[in-house]
Amino acid sequence: MARHQGIRQFRCFIDGEWVEALSGETFESIDPFTAKAWATIPKCDARDVDRAVEAARRAFDDGEWSKLTATQRGHLLRRLGDLIARDADHLAAVEVQDNGKLIAEMRGQVGYIPQWFYYFGGLADKIEGGVQPIDKPEMFTYTRHEPVGVVAAITPWNSPLLLLTWKMAPALAAGCTMVIKPSEFTSASTLELMRLVEEAGFPKGVVNVITGFGADVGEAISTHPGIDKIAFTGGEVSGRRIAQQASSNFKRLTLELGGKSAQLVFPDANIDNAVKGVVSGIFAATGQTCIAGSRLLVHESIHDQFLDKFVALAGTARMGDPMEWTTQVGPVTTRPQYERILSMIDMARGEGAEVAMGGKPADRPECGDGWFIEPTVLTGVKNDMRIAQEEVFGPVLSVIRFSDDEEAYHLANDTRYGLAAGVWTSDIARAFTAARRLRAGNVWTNTYRAVSFMMPFGGFKNSGIGRESGQDAIYDYLETKSVWLAFNKDVPNPFVMR
């Protein structure tokens, strides 16, 4: 697929209109492969947040959207899914130019995104309350589920459309309206998606996108009294700040934060498959994923054999232009992240880790002027080192030995995160035991990085609050209302609780 040539100019989408930021200012979006600007994005501020929230509030409270049945909302979601499927090639190319991830990965993601809109479109009119048995005579009680209101979605730069979809599909199915703030590094694909929202026929104000920086836009969203819920994917520090700011008016929260996920390779594992799985877990997507399997816990009896095979396979990875289908490792998305990864590798060396592979910028002709880092393997890592405890968000694997199952579970759980874990074993009893013992929201056995619109996704501990995808997700965008109907003829003593 080809890059867009020249500088594209994007606008925000507020109340069904394409508008500039009220400030009139813009900022550049940089192609990570060329390290050159390819688009300009509106630089919004709190005034634009007010505009978007007011539009979403009107649409939710008394606009056309509020009058649609759940079945009608479902039709719109399925229509949007069809349009995304139609334009998947274009959306994927925009995403690659904006964030530098592989076209093979992003085309696969975008091609899969319609399934979320089909699934939640079908679920929209299947949300049932229920008649509740009650211990009080002459009372009839039931529950109903109602949309939480205006939802703000704040999304990251690594998989902008997929992670927006995880919020957007259930929120709209539930009947909420939305204000979306994409990452300032990768706003283009979200704005392109709004063209399809418009074409699908969503009423004005239901979905709004404002772009800009955290200090100008993110903080205004977190504290805005007109927003009822925030759904955020990003780093732990930002998530904590959002939670603190949102507490001022008790906004509902879904937070999908970081991870320091372990892949456990036991001595009975199929080593060749495990090698492929660990490579996929850390070097696919250049390690820029919250579920990156950045800690390899390998049994001491197979440590050397496994490491030899791992380095041999990882060393064949083709680096280069992410727009090329044959590329396997692309650039780091942002310059600040590129510098942070290299500094963390230096920090690991200072802690006593040894570089078995990579550990430096990629100096290859096929990498052009982009921000590339060689796939890196660190050995001699202890679990209390910072490199084993802090999220790198890059192509850096820490290798840690273990001697028995108990030590493996202890090491895997000995982190403040709990997003994911991988288990490689041929023993079914060990697989079930590991799934129970590991404190992580997602546990894969003999596979890694598998997601589905049908399966809940989220983390334990500092990896977040709430779940995305699966039927569980829609309830995070609903409030439960209890309804009491009394049919007794005479009101009893009013001074006593019924």
Is 12 part of the annotated catalytic residue set? no
Q: Where does 61-167 show beta strands of DSSP type E?
A: 130-132, 139-147, 150-154
Residue 37 tokens, joined: 């600007």
What residue spans of 100-255 are helical by DSSP H?
Answer: 103-112, 114-123, 160-174, 188-200, 219-223, 236-246
Q: Which of 184, 236, 256, 374 is catalytic?
A: 256
Type and span of the H or E element at 478? strand 478-486
Q: Do residues 381 and 398 lie in contact, with contact meaning Cβ atoms separated by under 8 Å?
A: yes
Q: Where does 167-304 show beta strands of DSSP type E?
A: 177-181, 207-209, 229-233, 252-256, 262-265, 295-299
Helix (H, G, I), strand (E, B) or coil at 84: helix
Is 44 part of the annotated catalytic residue set? no
Which residue in 25, 199, 193, 19 sits closest to 94, CA to CA? 193
Q: Is 131 exposed, middle or buried (0-12, 13-18, 19+ CB in 10 A)?
A: exposed
| CA 448/CA 392 separation, integer angstroms | 19
Type and span of the H or E element at 114? helix 114-123
Q: Which of 12, 44, 176, 290 is catalytic?
A: 290
| CA 167/CA 461 separation, integer angstroms | 21
Please list the active-site residues.
256, 290
